[in-house]
């Protein structure tokens, strides 16, 4: 674990339901400044709903989300755009726009930067995510899956956000490309101090780069380090962290940590 840090985003008593179906029952979550925290859970547990709640795209049926002590519902969409960068599943780039135009879109909507400045920043963000500036003129259809995710990273970083939210960042990628995305998350966290919240079912991501993991099960959250969660007696949590894929991820973790 990293040294103790202040809490930057808090969820308190979050309740989400769809009709009569209760999805989240009074969830509490503190996200610490500068950490990488994973959110895991089974299908239908509401991982993406929780992410949307945390960034203010979904209003919960109960409870509050606080950013540095201020309720998210009281923060304008404009101000949230500077606080949160979001990488959506499959990248969600606009197919009709070039990569550079995708990255510059948040700048056009939320800043008064001139075109030349926007272009320079877009090139910088591409370089930051491991893509050459020459990729800016390409359209998403000309990129590989891993490159699409990196371009989407660059767009999420366009406004220098305080917290980066990543929804299944390594899904549909081959193991080498997925490992590259994990390394990129770590690099951005270490070099820029960005707080990262990762919604994923990828055990390698959860076990190798996350400081803590929040597991959604039985409409509640269990939050701890990977080592502590592996000691859990809860059947789902135990099976999740002790299955064949988990053991393979643990082996990769030991190799990456040099022990």
Q: Taking CA 42 as the corner, what is the angle to CA 36 and CA 45, rounded to the nearest 5 degrees?
A: 90
Q: Say how far apart CA 166 and CA 251 lie, in whole Å.
A: 24
pLDDT higher than 70, residue 247? no
Both tokens assigned to 75: 């923060």
Both tokens assigned to 239: 């099976």
Domains of the chain by start residue, with CATH: 7-257 (3.40.50.300)
Run of H or E residues at 7:
strand 7-18
> How many other CB atoms are there within 10 angstroms of residue 17's CB atom?
15
pLDDT higher than 90, residue 101? yes
Contact 149, 183 (CB under 8 A): no
Write out pLDDT tens, residues 146-193: 889 899 999 999 999 999 999 988 888 888 888 899 999 999 999 888
Contact 99, 158 (CB under 8 A): no
Listed in sequence order, the residues at least 6 apart from 49 whose beta carbon sits closer than 8 Å to its beta carbon are 16, 23, 24, 58
Long-range Cβ contacts of 179-186 (<8 Å, 24+ apart): 179/204, 180/130, 180/146, 181/146, 181/149, 181/150, 182/208, 182/209, 184/129, 184/130, 184/150, 184/153, 185/36, 185/209, 186/36
Contact 27, 2 (CB under 8 A): no
pLDDT band at 258 (very low <50, low <70, confident <90, very high): low
pLDDT band at 122 (very low <50, low <70, confident <90, very high): very high
């Amino acid at each position: 674990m990293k040294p103790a840090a202040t809490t930057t985003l808090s969820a308190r008593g979050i309740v989400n339901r769809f009709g009569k179906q209760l999805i989240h029952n009074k969830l509490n979550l503190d996200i610490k400044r500068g950490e990488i925290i994973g959110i895991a859970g089974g299908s239908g547990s509401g991982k993406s709903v929780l992410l949307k709640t945390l960034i203010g795209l979904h209003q919960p049926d109960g409870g509050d989300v606080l950013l540095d002590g201020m309720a998210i519902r009281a923060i304008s969409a404009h101000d949230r755009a500077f606080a949160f960068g979001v990488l959506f599943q499959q990248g969600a780039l606009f197919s009709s726009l070039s990569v550079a135009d995708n990255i510059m879109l948040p700048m056009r909507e939320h800043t008064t930067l001139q075109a030349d400045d926007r272009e320079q920043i877009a090139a910088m963000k591409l370089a930051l995510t491991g893509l050459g500036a020459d990729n800016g003129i390409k359209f998403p259809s000309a990129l590989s899956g891993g490159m699409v995710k990196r371009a989407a990273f660059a767009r999420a970083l366009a406004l220098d956000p305080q917290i980066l939210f990543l929804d299944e960042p390594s899904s549909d990628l081959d193991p080498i490309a997925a490992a590259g995305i994990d390394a990129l998350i770590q690099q951005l966290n270490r070099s820029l101090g960005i707080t990262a919240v990762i919604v994923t079912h990828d055990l390698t991501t959860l076990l190798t780069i996350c400081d803590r993991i929040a597991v959604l099960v039985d409409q509640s959250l269990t939050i701890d380090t990977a080592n502590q969660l592996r000691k859990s007696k809860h059947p789902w949590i135990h099976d999740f962290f002790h299955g064949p894929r988990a053991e393979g991820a643990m082996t990769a973790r030991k190799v990456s940590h040099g022990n």
